[in-house]
Each structure stands twice: as structure tokens, then as C-alpha cells.
Amino acid sequence: MRRHPVALLPLAVAALSAPGLAHAAEGQGDWIVDARLRYEFVDQAGFANEAEGLTLRTRLGYETPVWNGFKALVEGENVTALSDRYNSTTNGHVVYPTVLDPETTELNRAQISWSGAGADVVVGRQRIVLGAARFVGNVGFRQNEQTFDAARVAFKVSPTTTLTWIYIDRVHRILGDDSPQGEWDSDSNVVQIDSKTPIGQLTAYGYLLDFESVPLQSSATWGARLTGSRPLASGPSITWEVEYARQGDYGANPVDFDLDYLALSAGLKKDARYVSVGLERLDGDGARGFGTPLATLHAFNGWADVFLATPAGGLTDLNLKAGTTVPLGSRKLKLAAAVHDFSDADGGLDYGSEFDASASLPLTPRLSFEVKAARFTGDLPAFADRTKVWVTLELKL
């Protein structure tokens, strides 16, 4: 039985393309206009054909001006395939590798928000990104983003501490309405405390996820994360990240399990230049791996998206990341690269390695360009070699 206690905004909006539309006059609210054109290429072992997808994602919406602390927002989204030589998981083109950008037209966001008395409240279909999006995010890289029918309350307990509670009624996933996995019914609660401390930003959380549609994805995860930086006498700052979580069965999940998560990172940063070495370990018990079903998974464990689901033997990701910016006249070219070495949770079984690189450049204050690539080389037949390339042009008004 589906539950909709927070579906308070029965609105229907078709996603439109309006390239000439800009912000409304001051005091009259804001139009939301966002268009992203992207070419994605995939060459994957085991497929005779290479995937080539050219998709256009457009969003059109409107946010009202503030009235007594209240605002309302509505936004439609459309994804159109201009070239569909790829498997979107819903178009039936199974002779091609997968590109997770299905065609869709949907209501992306429809929410009412209120701010006041040290609290921020959002009710309705909304975008939710917590921290680095390792556990809850909007999967913003994909053309059809993930949004949530939810109620969210963030309360400032003190000048340095914020308490957040979220109830999630339904998850609108990137696979779209045509997929049987495009929506998940949910009875989930998220609790998170964020606090600034002398040694960095401390986050403690509990993610109690219960999915009626997919009970095997239900879990309870409790953990904490500390991130910080400190300047050195030589000029750069040393950075660090430490996170640990414990996950077990919850809600409708019929399987008993207890799994660990550990992430460690240390690096140096100066201005826009950085380098870091990191280790991320997701436990596995031989039957299932530590799960993060609401995460922005593309941002973790390599851009080739080989490990969107943690293997049953778990996953260890040892990585080296670096980035910088290069002035090009009045603009700045942003460069980033990463190397990953993947194995099982115990480190005894090699899965493969990956190299990622990207370059992005703002062409105008509202138009940006990006080229991005990933090359994964697998050490086991279960993890096929693959090369992916993305070329993106994005307009935001």
C-alpha cells in the first residue's frame, strides 16, 4: 500500500525549454531555467557495439518571493535522446552498453519551504543532498536527477550545531517513471547532527531506510564523519577526513546482516590546488555488500560506475586524487584527475584499477563546458574493461 502523507502539492508541470527566459524582476520570484546537452561514449568489453548517447536535459520552474518566511517552488524536467545508440534500461537497446539517461518528462520538484526561529522546513518533492552525498544525494551528474517526496526540518541548536530530521515517503530515482525501479515507496527516517569543532566539521548520523518496493535495500546505518584542515607554516593546508559507520537490517528486510564502512583521507591544499590519498572500505559478508542506495554513487569509487552496487565480497578503494585551476584570460580552466585500485574488503582479491580525468571551463557567466573520461581495467571477468567519455555543455539562467 502506497503512503503519501507529505504529497501536499498535487501539481503537474511539463518540462519545457525556454532559452530566452531569465530571472524575474526583483521581488517577483525567480524563474529556474537549466539546459544541459551531453554526449556520452562507452566502449565496454563483452559488447560488439559501442554506446553513443546524445541527450538534452531541460528544466523549467519558478520559485515565489518570500512571504512571512514561506516560499513555494515548482520545477518540471525533460530528458530527450537526440541519439539513442545506448541502453537506457528502458528503451530496449540491449545490444549497447548502459548509459543511465532514459528519456522522461516529469515533475522534478514541487515544494513549500519556511524559514524562521532558527529552523528551515521543506515539505514536498525536493532535492536532498547531505554532506558529500555518500549516503543521500540527488545523483546530479545524471540527466534525470533523484528527488524525494519528503518532509525536512533543520534546526540550529546553537551557533555551531544543526540538527536535521527528514522523513522520506517516496524516492524518484534516475531510472525514470518507465522503469519498474524508477520509484521506491519509502517509510524512511534520516537524523543528522552537524557541528563545528576545533578539529573540524563533525557529523553524526542515523539513516533508517525502509523501502516497501525493494525490501532487500532496507537498512539502518549509524555513523560519524570528521573533516578538517589546518594551515602549515610553508603555505598549504593539510586536510583530513575520517568516517566510520555500521549497517544492519531494518524494516521490511528479511535478511540479517551487520556490515562496516570506513573512509580515510589525507591531503594538501593551497588555493584551488589539491592532492589527497584516500582509502574507502565497504564491508561484505559473501552474500551482500554494504549498501548506499540513495547515494550519488557516480562521485565515489570511480567515474566508470563499475561499483554502483557493492560486491558481495565488499570493496576496498585505494585512491590518489589531484586537481588545479589554470587561468585562461578572465576564465579559469579546472583540471582534476584520480587513480583507483580496487579489491575486495579484505584486500586479498584484486578487482581492477581505474584512471579518471576531467577539464571544465566557464565560457560565460551562465554557460559552461566540460570534458571528462574514465578508463577501468578489470582483473576479473565479473568486472569488464570499459572506457567512458563525456562532453557536456550546460546553460543556467
DSSP characters for 181-197? TSEEEEEEEEEEEEEEE
| CATH code at position 143 | 2.40.160.10
pLDDT at 22 over 60: no
> Mean pLDDT over residues 90-104, rounded?
97
Angle at 392 between CA 179 and CA 137, to 5 degrees: 50
Residues 311 and 282: their CA atoms lie apart, in Å, by 9
pLDDT at 16 over 90: no
User: What are the tens digits of pLDDT across the range 185-229?
Assistant: 999 999 999 999 999 999 999 999 999 999 999 999 999 999 999
Is the model's pLDDT at 287 over the cut of 60?
Answer: yes
- Residue 24 domain-assigned? no
Residue 5 included in any domain: no
DSSP labels, 213-272:
S-GGG-EEEEEEEEEEEEE-TTS-EEEEEEEEEEEE--TT--S--EEEEEEEEEEEEETT
How high is the mean pLDDT of the chain?
93
Tell me if 272 is assigned to some domain.
yes
Extract the runs of DSSP E, i.e. beta strands, from the chain.
30-44, 51-63, 70-85, 104-116, 119-126, 147-158, 161-172, 183-197, 200-209, 219-231, 237-248, 258-270, 273-282, 315-328, 331-343, 350-362, 367-378, 386-396
Specify the number of domains making up the chain. Answer: 1
Q: Residue 13 pLDDT more than 70?
A: no
Residue 3 located in a structural domain: no
Reported pTM: 0.91
Does 6 have pLDDT greater than 60?
no
* pLDDT > 80? residue 179: yes
Which whole number is the average pLDDT over 99-125?
97
- Residue 296 belongs to domain spanning: 30-396
Burial (CB count within 10 angstroms: exposed 0-12, middle 13-18, buried 19+), residue 19: exposed
| pLDDT score recorded for residue 114 | 98
394, pLDDT greater than 50: yes
Q: Averaged over 62-71, what is the pLDDT? A: 97
Classify residue 7: in a domain, yes or no. Answer: no
Q: How confident is the model at residue 20 (pLDDT cuts 50, 70, 90)?
A: very low
Answer yes or no: is pLDDT of 257 > 50. Answer: yes
Residue 226 within any structural domain of the chain: yes
Residue 17 lies in a domain: no
d(CA 277, CA 264): 8
For residue 18, what pLDDT band results from cuts at 50, 70 and 90? very low
Rg over CA atoms, the chain = 21
Would residue 39 count as lying in a domain? Answer: yes
Q: What is the pLDDT of residue 195?
A: 98
